[in-house]
Structures are given as structure tokens and as C-alpha cells.
Amino acid sequence: MTMFEKIWNRHVIVEDEGELLLHVDRALIHEGSSHAFAKLEAQGRAVARPQQVFAFNDHYVPTTGREKGVEGITIPEIRNMVLKLQANTAKHGITLFGIDDPRQGILHIVPPEQGITQPGLMIAGADSHTSTHGAFGCIAFGIGASDMMHVMATQTIWQRPQKTMRVTVDGRLGFGVAPKDVILAIIARIGAGGGTGHVIEYAGTAFRSMSMEGRMTVCNMSIEGGARAGMVAPDDATFAYMEGRPYAPRGAQWSEALALWKALPSDADAVFDCEVALDGADIAPMVTWGTSPEHAAPVTGTVPDPRNIADANKSVEIASALDYMALAPGMALSDIKVDRVFIGSCTNSRIEDLRAAADVARLGRAQVTAWVVPGSQLVKRQAENEGLDQVFRAAGFEWREPGCSLCTAINGDQLQPGERCASTSNRNFRGRQGTGSRTHLVSPAMAAAAALTGHLTDVRDLLGKA
């Protein structure tokens, strides 16, 4: 069996007319989950297993002015969302990593830090990027308010079976190539809808050699390739990362858990519904030029010309994207100037990401407004202990408080119409970072390079001269 099949089958309770009722091990919620609580209230239901539900202040919390906690939030609508989550979690006995909690952070950053995310689990989250947690060898996916109400009320969910896709990347990644570049290259290859109806297992030497932070970056953007979830088989790197974390098994339970986890990887003769292979040595630092994550290319490339695209629908799509992005066909990607730089989000705000960005920031001074937003308070404190905040400040970057920030633009952090941003987030949709905003997805090191030069830049040119 595949790893997905092994975990999925362990969680099936009953089948009914092609749908399966699955047990859910963990549920992750944030401020936007108020609708799920309202549905519970309307039906007079309680949360079935509150100890398995975890809540996070991340999407709506501002990343400045946090000294006064909730009362310091100046936008009433945002403050009310934070207060409502506090009230709902207190009423139902749910653990909240709230705005004043020293562990506060993004719901895809904190659970791995705390050991809440574990191999073999079925995790449902109130956010599409719950796929992040599959980096630990578990099935993790995002759901809507109605499904989340069902999960909280029953600790189960109805789902249809998924197909399996294996994406294999073998070979050593080149100088300056990051996990973000790998997943952008994969999405450019399969397309934004290439993984629809599938769960992707990432395999090959490139992923086995990645840190857990890198694997989380890759799995995070599985949804951008259309997949329901992404997974990497647990191995010694997984176990070393997890051991000793607050929610991780201990003592005899740790030994029992290890035995289960080591049996999870796909069998050697497992058959996947779809296979995709890339050579890691062929992957270069990537940037997006359009309004979909599949609109990605090596930074050394050029903006495509829709007139050269044989598929008429794709040609129209590209022409429309270039019109929105105000880019001319054929121009060098490295000539695209940016107004802002954002280093953060659940994709790239872990300590490894900040270290990579700081290594570049040391080489100069920001020519445009640049924000660095750690993914959690633990990441922020570790970065400050390592002096990374001082590196960023000395280079003219702004060091902010943890949260989703400019990735979601629903918390007071947003771009102005027409502003162009080099961003480490996961989506470059129209208006994603603010009405009329233009987003170019890049790795943390590439984002820092853009900050120093004021335009999309091949980070290898800077690091090679250091």
C-alpha cells in the first residue's frame, strides 16, 4: 500500500454510497472559524473532544502595536474576531494559542513546534494550507465551516476517496535553490489543477535530504497544485525533530509511536495513480510572473508571450495575467522592479527561512520597504537569540510580530493598489495582498535579494560575490 492508503484505511469508520466517515485525530481552527461555532450554537451541540481541537490567533492579529494585547487592536472588526475566538474556545474548553500566549503563531507553524502534528494522524484544519502538516507523514487537509462544525461535534468527517500521485525529485539541488523553488517548479510542471482529486506523496533524494522546515514548505503549497494534501514519509529527521516536544509521546509511548511511524512509508511495490519526476539539478531559483502559482519560471527567464502559446484558452489566460500584472511579453524577469518585500506566512516564516533571508540581508541595505514576520513567538525569540533581528534591522528591514500578516491582508497589513511585492507567501492571486496588488512568489533568500536591489534578482549573483 501507499502511505496515504495505510493512514486512510486506519481512519475509516463506515462507508455509505461512495463516501467514507473518517475519524479525525486533530482539528485546527483560527479566528475565521466563528461560523463553525455559530452552527454548533444553533444546533445546541457541544464539542465532542475539546482536547483534540486547537485554536490559534493568526489570520486577524496585527503584526505591530501588540503591547496592549487585544485592547491594542485599533480596528474594531479585527478586535471582535480575536475576542470572539477567545470566548468560543473558553466556552468549549479548547486550547487557544492566543494573542497574549508566549507560544502564539500561525496554525501551520505552532502545531509542529508543539508536537501536536504527528505521523499517521488525520488532521483537519480551517485553512486550505493545512496540507503543511503532511510533511510529518500524516493526512492533513483544509475544510470549510460546515465540515468543521461536524468535526468539532463528532470528531469525524465525511470524505470521498482520493487518488494518489507520487512526485519524485532526485538529484542534488543546486547552489541557491531552496525548497520553495522546488515546489514552484513542481506546480509549473503539473499546473494549478494538476493534482486535483489526488493526494501527493513527495519522494526522492531531494526531499529525503530536506530539513523538516523545507518539507513543510513543499507540503504547504500542495494545494496550489490542486491536490487535496501533500505528504513526505517520516524518517529519522522527522523523529529527531519531534522528540521532546510538549505534545509528543514520551517514555514507553514514544517507543510504541516510533514502531507505528516506521511502518508508515509506502511499500516498495505500492502503485500510484499518477507519477511525476523531476531532476533536482535542473531546478533554479524561481519567481512567479502572473496571477497563478503555476505562472512560475526560473529567475533567469523572461515573461512569456501569449502569442506563442498554442492553446487558445491558455493564451488568453496569460494575456489577462500580464495585463493585470502590468508586464510586457519578453521582458527579463530580473528587470521587474518591486515596491515591497514580504518575508513571512505559513510557507516561509520558520527559523530556517529567516536564517536564509538574513544571510542575504547581511550583504547590503534594503532599497524598498521590507517586512520580516516570524511565524510564531518561538521562532521570533529564537531569531532574536541568534541576532537575526539585528541583522534585518541593520539592513533596513522591519521586524514585526508573528501572524499571517501580508499573506492574507485581512489584518491591517496590505499593499496599496498597483504596488508590486516580492513575497514568500503561497498565493499570487489578483488582490491577494490587497486590492489591485501584484504579487511575485519567491523563496526567502530571493525575497531578501529583491529587497537589496529593488527588483527581482537571482540570489546566486549576490551570494556568489559574498
| Same domain? 174 vs 140 | no
| Same domain? 152 vs 186 | no
Count of Cβ atoms closer than 10 Å to residue 12 Cβ: 13
| Same domain? 396 vs 316 | yes
248 within some domain: no
E strands along 337-437, which residues?
340-343, 369-372, 398-399, 420-423
208-256 residue pLDDT tens:
999 999 999 999 999 999 999 999 999 999 999 999 999 999 999 999 9
Section 421-431 average pLDDT: 97
Q: Is the pLDDT of residue 101 over 80?
A: yes
CA–CA gap between residue 365 and residue 452 (Å, rounded): 5
Q: What is the dihedral of CA 219, 223, 224, 227, to 10 degrees?
A: 100
Of 223, 248, 282, the position where a domain reaches its end is 282
| Same domain? 308 vs 454 | yes
Q: Contact, 83 vs 89, CB < 8 A?
A: no
What would the grid cell of residue 189 be?
510542471
What sign for the dihedral angle of Cα 325, 329, 332, 335? negative
252 within some domain: no
Q: Is the pLDDT of residue 447 over 90?
A: yes
3-state secondary structure of 313: helix
Which pLDDT band holds residue 111 (cuts at 50, 70, 90)?
A: very high
For Cα atoms 298, 302, 304, give the angle at the middle one, nearest 5 degrees: 110
**Using the 8-state DSSP alphabet, how is residue 210 labeled?**
S
Q: Is the pLDDT of residue 202 over 90?
A: yes
51 within some domain: yes
- CATH number of the domain encompassing residue 154: 3.30.499.10
Sheet holding 156-159: strands in order across? 12-16, 19-23, 156-159
* pLDDT value of residue 123: 98
| Same domain? 268 vs 362 | no
Q: What is the dihedral of CA 7, 8, 9, 10, to 10 degrees?
A: 50
| Same domain? 324 vs 270 | no
SS3 letters for 244-289?
Answer: CCCCCCCCHHHHHHHHHHCCCCCCCCCCCCEEEEEEHHHCCCEEEC
39 within some domain: yes
| Residue-averaged pLDDT of the chain | 97
Which pLDDT band holds residue 192 (cuts at 50, 70, 90)?
A: very high
Of 143, 159, 175, the position where a domain reaches its end is 159
* pLDDT value of residue 389: 98
* pLDDT value of residue 72: 85
442 within some domain: yes
Which pLDDT band holds residue 71 (cuts at 50, 70, 90)?
A: confident
Which pLDDT band holds residue 69 (cuts at 50, 70, 90)?
A: confident
| Same domain? 305 vs 437 | yes
Describe the crossing of helices 212-220 and 179-190 by its angle, rounded to 10 degrees.
Answer: 30
Q: Is the pLDDT of residue 168 over 70?
A: yes
* pLDDT value of residue 466: 61
Phi, psi of 149 (to 5 degrees): -60, -45
269 within some domain: yes
253 within some domain: no
Buried b (16+ CB within 10 A) or exposed e, 21-40: bbebbbbbbbbbbbebbebb
What sign for the dihedral angle of Cα 444, 446, 452, 454? negative
* pLDDT value of residue 465: 72
| Same domain? 153 vs 191 | no
426 within some domain: yes
| Same domain? 355 vs 372 | yes
What would the grid cell of residue 140 be?
492533513
Section 23-47 average pLDDT: 96
3-20 residue pLDDT tens:
999 999 999 999 998 899
pTM check: above 0.85? yes
The larger pLDDT score, comparing residue 220 to residue 68, is at 220
| Same domain? 224 vs 339 | no
| Same domain? 290 vs 436 | yes
Describe the crossing of helices 351-361 and 444-453 by its angle, rounded to 10 degrees.
Answer: 30
- Integer-rounded Cα Rg, in Å, for the chain is 21
Of 159, 176, 204, the position where a domain reaches its end is 159
Give the count of domains, the chain. 3
Section 93-102 average pLDDT: 97
| Same domain? 391 vs 265 | no
- CATH number of the domain encompassing residue 176: 3.40.1060.10
Residues spanned by the domain of 213: 163-234+260-282
